[in-house]
Each structure stands twice: as C-alpha cells, then as structure tokens.
Homo-oligomer: A and B are copies of this chain.
C-alpha cells in the first residue's frame, strides 16, 4: 500500500525552501551520534562560532533553535516580552502580523506601526511611535520581508530604538547569508533566521542570537517564560560551554550536521562574495524579466536580491502558470501572500539556488509558459539580456 517516498527533483525558486546544496544532503545522511557524545559537543561549538560569523556578532548566545523559523521568532518574543510590556511592531508584510500575534499571546501590548506592504519600514514613522509611546520596551521589525521581497534599513531602525531605550527584535529569516546582516554593528538585541532560505538547508532549524542586554532582560524576568521548550534560561544551559552543559531537550542531530555544512560553505565563500553573488544573479534575472516586459513591484533601492516580486501580467491565470512551471519544468516559484495573493509571483534566488543556471531556467521557462497563455510579453530577447549581465557587457 505504501512505498518509499522518492520526490521529483525540483528547482526551488520560491520564497523557501530553496535548493539544497548536495554537500548538505550528504552531511545530513551521516550516521547519527548521541546528543551527549563528546563529538556532538564539538559540533555544537563549531556551529555556534560559525553562526556568530554569519550574524556578525560576538553574542555568546548564538545558537540554532531546534525548530523552524517561526519557533525562532517565538523564542525571541516569549523570552523578551513579559505580560504588560509594550512592543512596537513595524509591520510591512505578513510576518510583522505574526509578530503581533506573538506579543499578544504572552500578554504583551502591541503597538503596530502599519507600513505600506511592498515598501521598507519608514524610520520616521517608527520615531513618531517611539515619541508617542515612551513606555515602549521593545521594537520589532522584519529585516527582509518574505511576503513582499522588501528590505528595511535595520541599522537605522535599531539605532532609533536604542535612542529611545528600547530593545530590538529583528527577523532575519530571509536575509541571513543573502544580504548584509551585522547584529553588533546594528546594535540589534535579538535576531532569528531560518535554515531554508539563503543558507540552503532543508527547513527545520532557526538560528538565533541574543545580545547581553537581551539576556539581562530575560534574567530579570519576574514571571516564568510560558514555554518550557523555548525558555532560554534552560536552552542556554544546554548550549553552554563544554562540560557545563545540562540536559534540556534532545537536539535534532542530523539537521545540525546539515546546518554545520551550510555554515561551512558560507565561511568558505565569504560573506561579501555571497552577497555579491546574490546581487549579480538578481540583476541577471531582472534584466531577463524586464526584457520580456515584466515589472518589479518593489522600488529598486528596497528590493531583496534573493526574493524578487514580479507583477502578474494582465489576463494571466497565475496559479495555472505556476502549475505549468512545476509540471513541465520541475520549477517552483512562489505565489503572493496576504494582500499580494493573486497579484505577484515571488521568485527566490537564495543561497545555492542563486546561480546563472537557475536564472536562465526561470527566464526561459516563464517565457515559454506565458507564451502558451498568450500573455503580452516580448519574446526571444530575455536570454540575451541575462547573458549581457553575466558577461558584463
């Protein structure tokens, strides 16, 4: 009745998961060892160090949460927010809305600074909210909004928050490894990411980091953290240095093998070369799609190179196009989310998936499928436009 699950090989150019580097899949298939094994302790130590490199931080508490990105988000909120704490959430997409949920469920008070979806968070609007809410304790925002493909100025927003005495929680799910993330330079206090975006791992873990100021607030709590699983007072003991570790939960051993390999690949490439690669492939994709006559949604200065929001041409059934791309080309691109559902496609060029082969596949497959649907696009010009970017002409 049942048999082994052998998936079709896809090219993953949606909002994540992105294509996984085969080195990472190989790493994940290595034999499981115990989570108390001395070799595992060494693995944990190396992962912490490489995560500090990726986040550009010296924060000692820089670890992977043993669950997907949304658990990383919740770990930040559930530890930092106490009942009654006022939290300013700058919302410019779906994931800001999830932050509000996180604040209210633990008894915090969310002040939402609503922004235009598809635009960066406006520092002036944040400053106005900070002036109106002198009792605010935390500012939260999304660095790279996965629902809209927009990057916000994390350095400016963290600086403002600090000026008004607030801690910051920064969502770096889609940014880590793809564009600059620099927690210490920003002065960010809590940040979390995901493994399935620009780190090119399968989903399942959430790298997170806490500043000493954030830890002070956690240690000074007068109410227990509502979650036992995510309580950083306990998790810290588990991820502590060397032999001082105390048992908490059982770590997802093989997923951590994968993350270790992914971080190693990032260390080998270097942060700036990785960001430059993401930008180069974004420019090539942009050249190809614009040559076809497609348009980008986000203003150029605010675009994420790793996640491209493209308007759906008039008269095109967007879901049907995605289905054809999947069935005919094994190519996955993303649908719009929230208010952008049905209006845009989200084309990811994340991590290992950010490469010329994928750019050419996407441009050519989209051209072919849109032609089937008689969309008004320019034909036969996209490939040359892509090639021009790569050849530097």
Task: Convert A99-121 into 0s and 1s, putting 1 for each residue whose CB lies closer than 8 angstroms to a CB of B.
Answer: 00110111000000000000000
Interface segment out of the listed A25-33, A284-292, A299-307, A378-386? A25-33
Task: Convert A205-236 into 0s and 1s, putting 1 for each residue whose CB lies closer than 8 angstroms to a CB of B.
Answer: 00000000000000000001111110000000
Count of interface residues, chain A, beta-carbon cutoff 8 Å: 81
List of B residues within 8 angstroms of A252 by Cβ: 68, 202-204, 255
Asked whether A204 lies within 8 Å of B204 as measured between CB atoms, the reply is: yes
Asked whether B250 lies within 8 Å of A203 as measured between CB atoms, the reply is: yes
Which residues 36-50 of A have a CB within 8 angstroms of B?
A: 36-40, 43, 46, 49-50
State whether A68 and B37 are in contact (beta carbons under 8 Å apart), knowing that A7-B31, A31-B10, A254-B202 are contacts in the complex: no
State whether A35 and B105 are in contact (beta carbons under 8 Å apart), knowing that A74-B228, A228-B98 are contacts in the complex: no
A contacts with B: majority SS: loop
List of B residues within 8 angstroms of A69 by Cβ: 249-250
List of B residues within 8 angstroms of A102 by Cβ: 228
Report the separation of the CA atoms of residues A165 and B102 in the bound assembly, to the nearest whole angstrom: 33
State whether A67 and B66 are in contact (beta carbons under 8 Å apart), knowing that A33-B8, A105-B224 are contacts in the complex: yes
Q: A235 to chain B: closest CB distance in Å?
A: 11
Asked whether A337 lies within 8 Å of B247 as measured between CB atoms, the reply is: yes
Within 8 Å of chain B (Cβ to Cβ): is A257? yes
List of B residues within 8 angstroms of A228 by Cβ: 70, 74, 98, 101-102, 105
List 16 A-B residue pairs with CB atoms under 8 Å apart, sorted by A's residue number: A2-B263, A7-B32, A10-B34, A25-B29, A25-B31, A25-B32, A34-B332, A69-B250, A70-B229, A71-B71, A71-B249, A74-B227, A78-B226, A105-B227, A204-B252, A204-B254
